[in-house]
Structure 1
Amino acid sequence: MIESSLNYLRDGDDAVVTTVIGGLLLLASPLVIPSFLVFGYVARVVRGTADGDDEPPVFEAWGDLLVDGLKTFAVTFVYSLVPLAVVAVAAVVALGTFVVVPGGGAGGGGTFLGAAVVGILVLALGLVGFALSLAGLYVTPAAVAAVAESGKVGDGFAVTTLWGVVTKRAYATGWLTAAVVVLAGALAIGVLSVVPVLGTIAGVFVQFYALVAAAAIIGWTWADVRPIALDETEPEPAERPAV
């Protein structure tokens, strides 16, 4: 699957143009709107590969692309927001410890005990935040695929449906494969960044290529694990054979 994903964009009819546009959008991502367009392209890749279309999409219908990107960003942001909130609480608690307990009285025993309790609480919150971050990273691709397929943001938070997807071995395998591609891309970017300016710019295009390859893997995986709609499995009463 890794080899197929790396060839996915390259084998497209407009591979060079698509890669150039995608890289330029990533370079301009600080302007915000370009980053949404990249999110939209990723959603198109996931939707296309999930539907069996292995021809990479082109950058067109920019309005629809922006809408898809906003939906994809919203899902991704929410799944990253919860662990960030937990970490923020831990940071506030830790800061409060130094502000409220600057010194100690009666030998400092009470202060030490209080600081120890707060330290344990901060550590626990940090571990919870880390666990939630991993869970968010694991579930996010499935949520993005669900939204890309239906166009409904709410489907990205359908807990029961998504649970049935992310607990499948096929999804875990696809997720790990996509993660390997992303990490390989990050490694390549790190090597390229040794070259000042030009290496950094080249790394952006590598980042886009790796992102698309990972999205293709998620799309292929979604095709295998996507939940089947009830109306696709249950025939209408009029269509049921008479007994």
Structure 2
Amino acid sequence: MISASLTYLRDGDDAVVTVLIGGLLLLASPLVVPSILVLGYVSRVLRRTADGDDAPPAFDGWSGLLTEGLKGFVVTLVYSLVPLAVFAVAAVFGVGAAVVGSGGGSGSLLGGLLGGAFALVLALAALAVSLAGLYVTPAALAAVADSGRIGDGFAIGTLWTVVAKRAYATGWLTAAAVVLAGALAVGVLSVVPVLGTIAGVFVQFYALVAAAAVVGWTWTDVRPVAPDPPDSEIAERPAV
């Protein structure tokens, strides 16, 4: 699957144009809107590959691309904010423990130790939540891309049936390996000042799309099966 993902964009009709546009958008990502457009493109890749279409989408229909990207942006933002909130609480308790412990006395020392221990527990919990978020986010993005409904990205019960499958774990690890390989390539290119850093952004886009293709192919096998809707009309009995 890794080799197929690495040739996914290359085998497209407009590979050079797509990588060029995607890289330029990533370069301008501090402006926020370009990064949302990239997320919109990733969403299209997820949907197409999940539906069995291995032709890379083009950067067109920019208003629709922006809409899809906004949905993906909300999903990634929420899954990243939760662990950050827990980390913030841990930091508050850590500072409080340091202040109490510096007050002197056995009571202050005990309070500082308890506060510090609680802050450590919260920090470990935040780390666990962060790792869980990284694991679930691709499935959430695929669910939203598949249905077009942003609420499906937060349907925890349904997503659990997906992320608990071995096929999803395998696909996630494969996508993570692709992203890691891209990050290593970016690191090597960054040794060259300016030009290497710019080239690394295009490599980053290529790796991101390759990983999205892996997730899309995985979603084909693990996507929840919707129950058949009940018949709206009762068939009439044939006359005897």
TM-score above 0.5, yes or no = yes
Percent sequence identity over aligned pairs = 71
TM-score (structure 1 length as normaliser): 0.93
Among candidates 154, 158, 162, match of residue 161 of structure 1:
158
Tell me what 1:9 maps to: 9
Whether 1:217 and 2:214 are equivalent positions in the alignment is yes
Does the 8 A contact of 2:5 with 2:214 survive in 1?
yes
With the length of structure 2 as denominator, give the TM-score of the two structures.
Answer: 0.95
CA drift of 1:97 comes to 2.3
Residue 102 of structure 1 and its aligned partner are, at CA, apart by 3.0
SS of 1:196's equivalent in the other structure is coil
Cα distance in 1 between the residues matched to 2:16 and 2:220: 27
Contact 2:172/2:215 (8 A) holds in 1? yes
8 Å CA contact 2:68–2:145 kept in 1: the answer is yes
1:122 aligns with: 119
8 Å Cα contact 2:101-2:113 kept in structure 1: no
Counterpart CA distance in 1 for 2:51 and 2:233 is 28
> Once the 2 structures are TM-superposed, how far is the Cα of residue 112 of structure 1 from its aligned partner?
2.1
Cα distance change of structure 1 residues 85 and 112 upon mapping to structure 2, 3 Å threshold? same
Q: CA RMSD in A?
A: 1.8
Where structure 1 has 5 or more consecutive residues not aligned to the other structure, the ranges are none
The count of aligned residue pairs is 238
Question: Could you tell me which residue of structure 2 aligns to residue 97 of structure 1?
Answer: 97
Which of 107, 130, 134 aligns to 2:131? It is: 134
- Are the counterparts in 1 of residues 46 and 215 from structure 2 also a CA contact under 8 Å? yes
Shift of 1:100: 4.2
Instruction: For structure 2, list consecutive stretches of 5 or more residues without a partner in the other structure.
Output: none
Match 1:227 to one of 224, 235, 239: 224
Provide Cα deviations, 1:116-149, integer angstroms capped at 9, x if missing partner.
Answer: 1111111100110000011101111010000001
Structure 1 residue 238 displacement after superposition = 5.3
In structure 2, distance between residues paired with 1:237 and 1:157: 33
- Shift of the 177–237 alpha-carbon distance from structure 1 to 2, 3 Å rule, reads farther
Partner amino acid for 1:174? G
What are the within-5 Å matches in structure 2 for residues 37-76 of structure 1? 37-76=37-76
User: What is the rounded CA distance, in whole Å, between the counterparts of 1:118 and 1:4 in structure 2?
Assistant: 51
Question: What is the one-letter code of the residue matched to 1:46?
Answer: L
CA distance in 2, matches of 1:215, 1:115: 46
Letter in 2 for 1:120: A
Residue 81 of structure 1 corresponds to which residue in structure 2?
81
Q: Secondary structure at the match of 2:228?
A: helix
**Helix, strand or coil for the counterpart of 1:230?**
coil
